[in-house]
Amino acid sequence: MPYEYRKLSPKEREEIVRYRSERGYPLHAPPHPFRDAGAYLISAANFEHKAAMKSPQRRTEFETRLLNSIKEITDDLIAWVVLPNNYHVLINVRSLDAVSAALKHLHGTTSREWNIEDGLTGKRRVWYKFVDSYIRNDAHLHTAFNYIHYNPVKHGYASDPYEWPWSSLSIYYDDKGREWLREHWRMYTPPVDFDKGWDDFVESND
């Protein structure tokens, strides 16, 4: 994220830019190398991870708006979680372009509204660009599914994933049962570094 980039030395920054340039990635924004139909793990965070969704009311409101936005572009929303400063969704789409348009609108409208509500118009950037990870196979899909639902515990917002209401876990609990979820976790526990790199992109010059 931007605040990590600013901690780097000039030489380290130069190496990152060179690496991205060689691979044809945007120099100052997260890359989106895959844009075809398929399943994607979509992740987005508040700028510099400064929580804009601290209040339960705002998380509930944002979750509803996020799901409505996603449902406009796909009928296959697999899993999601909303945290105080970021969110993840796992979806099947025909094209990543539709995701980009939907999230751009969602981020734009919530940024304006929240800055007005918080008295920070012109003083705060709310969102950074989203990052996507193309799901390669079934094992990757199930691991991403578990990663999403365990995220509140990983980041210290809950001691039990079932305690966090802003996710799709309760739907699977009601539909599949706790034993199914436990077995699913046993078979596809995310590795410690599963999310490594999802927010390792450099500062935007926007």
List the strands of the sheet with 38-45, edge to edge: 77-82, 86-93, 38-45, 131-134
* Rounded-to-integer distance, Cα 104 and Cα 172, Å: 29
Written as one letter, the residue type at 3 is: Y
Nearby residues of 26 by Cβ (< 8 Å), 6 or more positions away:
20
Tell whether the model's pLDDT for residue 199 goes beyond 70.
no
Tokens matching residue 205:
């010059």
* Rounded-to-integer distance, Cα 206 and Cα 198, Å: 20
Tokens matching residue 161:
């994933």
Report the helix count and the strand count for the chain, using DSSP H and E: 7, 4
Q: Which domains does the chain have, with CATH numbers?
A: 2-187 (3.30.70.1290)
* Rounded-to-integer distance, Cα 104 and Cα 41, Å: 17
- pLDDT mean over 71-76: 91
Helical H runs in 72-192? 96-117, 138-154, 169-176, 178-187
* Higher-confidence position of 47 and 21: 47
pLDDT in tens, 113-162: 999 999 999 999 999 888 888 898 999 999 999 999 999 999 999 999 99
- pLDDT mean over 38-58: 94
Residue 66 near residue 83 (C-beta atoms within 8 A): no
Tell whether the model's pLDDT for residue 7 goes beyond 90.
no
Tell whether the model's pLDDT for residue 109 goes beyond 50.
yes
Residue 54 near residue 72 (C-beta atoms within 8 A): no
* Rounded-to-integer distance, Cα 6 and Cα 9, Å: 8
Read off the pTM: 0.80
